[in-house]
Structure 1
Amino acid sequence: MESQMKVQETGEDSRSQTSSTVSLSELRIVLLGFRFAGKSSAGNKILGCKRFELKRTAQCVTRQGEVAGRRITVVEAPGWFVNQTFEGSTEFSKQEIVLSVTKCPPGPHCLLLVINVGSKFKAKQRKAVEKHLKLFPERVWSHTLVLFTHGDWLRDTPIEQHIKIKGEDLQWLVEKCGNRYHVLNNMNRSDKTQVTELLEKIEKMVAANSGGYFEIDRRILQEVEEKRRTEVERAETRRMKVQKQREDIRAKIG
């Protein structure tokens, strides 16, 4: 009953639910993580068709579709290089990451932290992930699920064994996300259950969050928007200054 009340309060159209899961007619998802980890491919896999271009993007990209009777909105946020520190990310990228959760109003049900299952994940990568996620309030972790891509790389190794072999840093990440994880294998195009199982895991997480979605604090959003406005104004000032200098040079030559 509590879950049902929460769903209604947040404006979700619930089709059916139990104490452990909630089935929604709409799901809103944000893809976060390293560059070249397969975020765009994951978005296409989830939506069942090519909606995301497989190229680097500096800004958030939003795509929608209908999957298994659900309206799905997927937002891809800009990523960071696997060997890059948080400090190495541009302010613009950090702002876009924060704003990504506003691209699917009123907020995402799930943030998928995309990790290439074959890439390294040591202390440096853990620290980068942790600091980028600190752009959000701590409660973001209760809405986050680790999505391992390139599942074909595992061959016959169970993902649980792989996580154990990788060591404490990857184990920390999975535990930080409440031991919620899923594997996508894009090489196995005929297996439709990969996506339906992922959506079911997301719905289970939504139920654990009392049917709620992640909504960023208004204060944080205002700070980011103010920084963005300031940067735009500075860029415009620089542009006008350069334009005036060129006009002065032309006047002297003429």
Structure 2
Amino acid sequence: MSACGVQTELRLVVLGRSGSGGRSDACSILGLRDCDQRNDNNQVDECRKFRAEVVGRKLLVVSSPDWFSSDCEPEERRKHFSSLITLSIPGPHVFLLCVPLDQPADGETKVLDVLEKLLGPSAVNKNTIILFTNMEELEEDERLEDYLSMWRKDLGMLLERCGGRYHALETQRVEREESKAVEDMLEKIEQVVKDNNDEHFSCPLYQEVSEKVKKRQVEIVKERKEDAVVTEKDMEEVLEEAEKSIGLLQVDLDVFSSSNISPSAPTPSFLRTLWEKVVGWLNWLPTIVRREALLGALVGLFVGGPVGGVMGATVGSVATEVRRRQTQKTK
């Protein structure tokens, strides 16, 4: 990992939805459990940091809540973003964005928009890997690349923004295959690190937060008795206290407003409504091979422009899911 041959700790930030097909799947394959900590309302309410050793690699994993769920306000989004920056200083080696194949990609698009606007384009085009989940969406023997190019151009655009880097996250592997799955994913992560000259991601915002945390660490240590022996555990507690003292970052709150991100894409509530209506309509249509693709194309042509492209891809993926489930029921 390093020029002198000493293995360093890989710092990873895991982004995406909660639940199946999201961050939980990524954390599970890394040997981490309960990445999604929930409050009394069953909502994930904070970023969490984990340390682990997986197949010989030392990992620090920061799991961040879903920024763009419908009930998350801009101030809450800034809170989550501030926390993930602070917990992953001096900067992550890789951002892992979990993207389920059977869902519209509006939320994931907005996450990339925020990273680009606040951290710079290289955070996305050099340091982000797409983790595709819910791979059962593919037909038997269907290649992911073919599926993306033919039926889900919205996901293809996400992948293009991330430099074409992706990993297909197979979460239903038998136990003997899990170690190989983890190994494959970590190899892709380490390839990104190698491509970036074995350096972690950095930017002015990360540098500013790192300096604040270091300064606070020094202050905390000085506040303790001079004759006290400072152990490694003490230093971990000092770091945790220093991180908590940072609070909200002074970044433009407008960046976290849905109306100011990806203006060419439909809003999440609109996509959700469209999704439900189309599913209800398609339930009584006869099944024809890839009819869903034609339907998506017609929607795209009817609406036109970038919005039409996204809507068409969304409708197409809805129809794909309906057809797949109908086929399963008849078997």
Q: Mark yes or no: TM-score above 0.5.
A: yes
Distance in 1 between residues matched to 2:128 and 2:107, nearest whole Å: 17
Query: How far off is 1:146 after superposition?
Result: 0.3
* 1:213 alignment partner AA: H
Query: Is 1:58–1:93's contact at 8 Å kept on the other side of the alignment?
Result: no
Query: Is 2:36–2:65's contact at 8 Å kept on the other side of the alignment?
Result: no
* 1:67 alignment partner AA: V
Q: For residues 25-36 of structure 1, what are the structure 2 equivalents within 5 Å?
A: 25-36=8-19
Query: Is 1:163–1:171's contact at 8 Å kept on the other side of the alignment?
Result: yes
Partner of 1:171: 156
Partner of 1:95: 79
Query: How far off is 1:92 after superposition?
Result: 2.5
**Kindly tell me: are residues 198 and 148 of structure 1, through their superposed partners in 2, closer, same or farther at Cα, counting changes over 3 Å?**
same
Aligned counterpart in structure 2 of residue 160 of structure 1, from 123, 145, 150: 145
Query: How far off is 1:225 after superposition?
Result: 3.7
* 2:197 alignment partner AA: S
Identity of aligned residues (%): 28
TM-score by length of 2: 0.54
* 2:95 alignment partner AA: L
**Kindly tell me: are residues 154 and 89 of structure 1, through their superposed partners in 2, closer, same or farther at Cα, counting changes over 3 Å?**
farther
Query: Is 1:78–1:97's contact at 8 Å kept on the other side of the alignment?
Result: no
Q: 1:34-66, CA deviations, whole angstroms, 9 ceiling, x for partnerless residues?
A: 3444202311211x2525247542211111211
Partner of 1:248: none
Partner of 1:245: none
Note if 1:105 corresponds to 2:105: no
Distance in 2 between residues matched to 1:225 and 1:182, nearest whole Å: 32
TM-score by length of 1: 0.69
Partner of 2:235: none
Q: For residues 1-254 of structure 1, what are the structure 2 equivalents within 5 Å?
A: 7-8=2-3, 14-15=5-6, 24-36=7-19, 37-46=21-30, 48-53=31-36, 55=38, 56-81=43-68, 84=70, 89-121=73-105, 124-125=106-107, 127-133=109-115, 134-141=117-124, 142-156=126-140, 157-190=142-175, 191-192=177-178, 193-218=180-205, 221=209, 225=248, 227=250
RMSD: 3.0
Query: Is 1:126–1:170's contact at 8 Å kept on the other side of the alignment?
Result: no
Query: How far off is 1:29 after superposition?
Result: 0.6
Q: In proportion to residue count, which structure has more helix?
A: 2
Q: 1:2-56, CA deviations, whole angstroms, 9 ceiling, x for partnerless residues?
A: xx8xx45xxxx745xxxxxxxx44211101123444202311211x252524754
Query: Is 1:111–1:145's contact at 8 Å kept on the other side of the alignment?
Result: yes
* 1:164 alignment partner AA: S
Gaps of 5+ in 2: 213-245, 252-331
Higher relative contact order (CA 8 A, sep 6+): 1
Q: Secondary structure at the match of 2:119?
A: coil
* 1:128 alignment partner AA: K
Query: Is 1:40–1:54's contact at 8 Å kept on the other side of the alignment?
Result: no
Distance in 2 between residues matched to 1:171 and 1:177, nearest whole Å: 10
Gaps of 5+ in 1: 16-23, 229-254
Query: Is 1:117–1:149's contact at 8 Å kept on the other side of the alignment?
Result: yes
- Structure 1 residues 64-73 or 131-140, which shifts more? 131-140
Q: 1:69-98, CA deviations, whole angstroms, 9 ceiling, x for partnerless residues?
A: 11111111111346x59xx64323233224
**Kindly tell me: are residues 92 and 158 of structure 1, through their superposed partners in 2, closer, same or farther at Cα, counting changes over 3 Å?**
same
Q: 1:216-252, CA deviations, whole angstroms, 9 ceiling, x for partnerless residues?
A: 4238758974549xxxxxxxxxxxxxxxxxxxxxxxx
Query: Is 1:27–1:109's contact at 8 Å kept on the other side of the alignment?
Result: yes
Distance in 1 between residues matched to 2:68 and 2:73, nearest whole Å: 9
